């Protein structure tokens, strides 16, 4: 098996008395889509922030391409090839779509012309081709999600952290954006996505990690994880798995 591109080892994060993330370990491989699921408040976004440099872990290590990147700031990680999107989209509201993507493109292309060309291409790739000169604040939620994705892609990452990129989208919008995401892994990018939309997890993810109350409680392929009674209980409450089993018997 290939050496994972990203390796999170026993990472914890404490906020005063609250242990938001508790010795969590996971990994992501190039060319694969890995999902991080779990009930609300489990600490998934916190874990993302720990991986992407917005928060420093209280304990544990984060490794990327065999380098120890624990605690490195976000802009340095971006240069290494780690890009992230935000759960609450953060467009550069006053700028046009093209100018938004341009900021990402400039990471590896100092010259404006080359960066603009890349921005144009990425914009088309995510399906925003005809919106490039509209102001970012004029986009719909679905559009903003695509913009969020485009900006991250323009940095030409090897690891892409997607934080609930499907949240707030209606079924047809989800159906339209799924191929864009699966295309990414075809290109060799490692994708780690936090998702609540189970249809996406089942159809896209090769491997799933389940986080509940700050701890990784299960991992495996999507069918394995969904059938795991521990996972069911994490979502539906204590005793739910047993209840479901007894319901089946009858």
Summarize as ranges the residues that interact with other proteins (CB under 8 A): 52, 54, 73-76, 78-79, 83-84, 86, 90-95, 99, 102-104, 106-107, 110-112, 115, 151-152, 154-155
Assign residue 9 a region: left if phi > 0, alpha if psi is -120 to 50, beta otherwise?
Answer: beta
CA distances from 241 to 53, 154, 233, 235, 249 (A): 37, 44, 6, 10, 13
Nearer to other proteins, 155 or 219 (CB): 155
> What is the closest distance, in whole angstroms, from the C-beta atom of residue 204 to other proteins in the complex?
22
Least distance between other proteins and beta carbon 75 (Å): 5
Q: At what angle do helices 171-186 and 141-154 cross, to 10 degrees?
A: 10
By C-beta, is 95 or 174 nearer to other proteins?
95
Q: What minimum distance in Å lies between the beta carbon of 110 and other proteins?
A: 5
* CA atoms within 13 Å, Cβ hemisphere of 54: 12
Report angle CA 66, 67, 73 to the nearest 5 degrees.
Answer: 140
Nearer to other proteins, 25 or 96 (CB): 96
Cα(48)–Cα(85) distance, integer angstroms: 10
Instruction: Kindly tell me which of 150 and 225 has the beta carbon lying closer to other proteins.
Output: 150
Cβ at position 100, least distance to other proteins in Å: 8
| Angle of CA points 181, 184, 188, to nearest 5° | 150
Angle 112-125/97-105 helices, nearest 10 degrees? 120
Residue with structure tokens 């495996």?
220
Least distance to other proteins, CB of residue 113, Å = 10
Pick the closer one to other proteins by CB: 57 or 81.
Answer: 81
Within 13 Å and on the Cβ side, how many CA atoms surround 114? 7
Least distance in Å: CB of 199 to other proteins? 27
Which residue lies nearer to other proteins by CB, 153 or 232? 153
């Amino acid at each position: 098996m290939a050496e994972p591109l990203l390796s999170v080892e026993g990472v914890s994060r404490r906020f005063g008395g609250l242990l938001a993330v508790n010795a969590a370990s996971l990994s992501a491989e190039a060319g694969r889509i890995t999902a991080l699921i779990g009930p609300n408040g489990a600490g998934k976004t916190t874990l993302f922030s720990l991986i992407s440099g917005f928060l420093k872990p209280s304990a544990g290590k984060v490794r990327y391409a065999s380098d120890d990147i624990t605690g490195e700031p976000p802009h340095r990680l971006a240069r290494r090839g780690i890009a992230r999107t935000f759960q609450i989209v953060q467009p550069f509201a006053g700028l046009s779509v093209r100018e938004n993507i341009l900021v990402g493109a400039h990471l590896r292309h100092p010259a404006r012309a080359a960066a603009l060309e890349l921005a144009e291409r990425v914009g088309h790739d995510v399906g925003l081709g005809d919106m490039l000169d509209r102001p970012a604040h004029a986009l719909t939620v679905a559009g903003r999600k695509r913009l969020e994705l485009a900006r991250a892609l323009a940095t030409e990452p090897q690891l892409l952290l997607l934080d609930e990129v499907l949240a707030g989208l209606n079924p047809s919008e989800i159906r339209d954006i799924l191929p864009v995401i699966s295309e990414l892994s075809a290109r060799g990018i490692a994708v780690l996505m936090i998702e609540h939309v189970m249809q996406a997890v089942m159809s896209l993810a090769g491997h799933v990690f389940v986080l509940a109350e700050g701890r990784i409680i299960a991992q495996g392929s999507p069918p394995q994880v969904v059938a795991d009674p521990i996972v069911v209980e994490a979502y539906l409450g204590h005793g739910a798995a047993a209840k479901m089993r007894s319901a089946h018997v009858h």
